[in-house]
A and B are shown apart, each in its own frame.
Chain A
Amino acid sequence: MTVNKIKRCVSLYSFQEEYFLRKMTLEDMLVTCQELGIPGVEIIGEQMITGYPRISSSFFDQWHSWLEKYGLTPVCLDQFIFPQIYKNRLMTEDEMVASILEDIRVAKRLGVKLIRVQHSVTSRILERTVAEAEKAGISLDVEIHAPSTLESPFEQELVRTFERVDSPYLGFVLDLGIFTRRLGRIMTDRWMRMGMKPAVAKVIAECYDNRQMDKLEDDIRALNGTQDDLDATFLVKHLVNSDPRHILPYMKYIHHIHAKFSEMTDEGRDYSIPYEEIIPILVEGGFSGYLSSEYEGGWFIQDAFVVDGVEQVRRHQRMLKQLLGEA
């Protein structure tokens, strides 16, 4: 493989189930990152920092002492905007700008170099906050996430904004979920545990895998599928199976990657996303940021199995190392 400058990271989001159930603390997760040999760390403020964004100084001191102790680099803060927090109105644009400016201040204190900006932002909000981001040395990177791709209307508008503003502090986080080649069996298995007939589950997977989503509802009806079956397809319609080569023209704007996965098999591959195809394309495109493992399979198995985000991340990182030529 060509020499590459891609670095590895993990989003602590991957260990969310362990954190939710109080099986792991924030420090436990950082210890795990060190044990798994992962250099970079990404965190969702609202998920694992108490009181976010009003955070005590002692938290930041503790955070930095942990990073130093466990030899980790803070890479990315993920932010959200919740426009509906007021009872009778939506947040104004000024309030959304203020919310992002607060995220920038937190990101600076966490020591990260980029913020994953959630999709609900607008070009105007980015233009109003980029100067502050530049001052802080932090880039604002909007996540490309299914069902959108880089070619979707809003993403194309953002590309034009990035061209016009011409700042290295605006860009994208690419979520590899947009390359979901095969429907996760953890999804169909979950639906079957909830009562879906195996024949219906099979036809949903076939329609997705064969890119025949237009006939999905008719096929389900032909099998006397229920309303619950049709509701389940809502999620499937939000998945995307796009061509990884389509990202190449946009590489200069891709600053960070969510290496999404839902099930690392015993063979050490993700069941749904073709990493062996994607990583050579990232290398070809000259990507030099972090690939951040983002495990999201827990939600589909937590009703019946113990979720083991640590083992899933261990397998995922082993695969990344192999594909990056580190192992």
Chain B
Amino acid sequence: MVYDCYMIVGDDFKNVIKDGKATGYQFGLRIPYFSSVIVSLVGSTELKVDGETIPEERMSVTLYGKTSPKASLADDPVTRWEFGDIGLITVDCPGGLPSGEHTIDIRQEVKIGFITGGLFGHDIKKLSIQN
């Protein structure tokens, strides 16, 4: 319950177009914690878009100009996701999302040892896409 309501950043919600074709969609994400976190502590990302569960294998994260598969964050004990900075989550989805309103529902783990039971932030936003 820390910064949950600010996790999804709608300004960055759009389809990703490569060579004239939509290959997926993306939105901005802030980490629901009160300091920067080393990216290996960014735990599981449970994402549902319009009710459909998106496996992590289809997600990549762009942070400070570098794009990596979501799963690879666990292997990086150095890079910091600075407090309040917005990363981009890109979901691999040939054809992208149709124009109109979509519901993004994200439950993000942050692996903070001293918080019993772990820390999860949860945000749901309805966002519009224009193709």
Contacts and interface: CB of A to CB of B under 8 A. Distances in A.
Interface string A128-142: 000000000000000
Given A20-B84, A22-B84, A80-B35, A299 B2 contact: yes
Contact of B3 (A82, A85, A120, A302): A302
A87 B36 contact: no
A47 B34 contact: yes
Nearest to A13: B34
A46 B112 contact: no
Interface stretch (A48-56, A177-185, A269-277, A318-326): A48-56
A21 B7 CA distance: 11
A82 B5 contact: no
A82 B83 contact: no
Contacts of B40: 84-87
Contacts of A299: 1-3, 34
Contacts of B129: none
Interface in B96-131: 111-114, 117
Contacts, number: 65
Interface range, A side:
20 to 34
Given A86-B40, A86-B77, A46 B35 contact: yes
Contacts of B80: 46, 51-52
B6 A84 contact: no
A47 B6 contact: no
B38 interface: yes
28 contacts: A13-B34, A16-B34, A19-B83, A19-B84, A20-B6, A20-B30, A20-B83, A20-B84, A22-B84, A44-B35, A46-B35, A46-B80, A46-B83, A47-B83, A51-B80, A82-B113, A83-B113, A84-B113, A85-B40, A85-B41, A86-B77, A87-B74, A87-B75, A119-B114, A120-B114, A190-B1, A299-B1, A303-B5
B56 interface: no
A20 B36 contact: no
- B interface majority secondary structure: loop
Nearest to B83: A47
B12 interface: no
B38 to A, nearest CB: 5
Contacts of B41: 82, 84-85
A119 to B, nearest CB: 7
Interface in A273-310: 299-300, 302-303
A172 to B, nearest CB: 17
Contacts of B37: 82
In the A-B complex, the 6 residue pairs with the closest CB atoms: A20-B84, A46-B35, A85-B77, A47-B35, A303-B5, A84-B111
Interface string A57-90: 0000000000000000000000010111111000
Contacts of A118: 114
Nearest to A16: B34
A46 B77 contact: no
B36 A85 contact: no
Contacts of B30: 20
Contacts of A46: 35-36, 80, 83
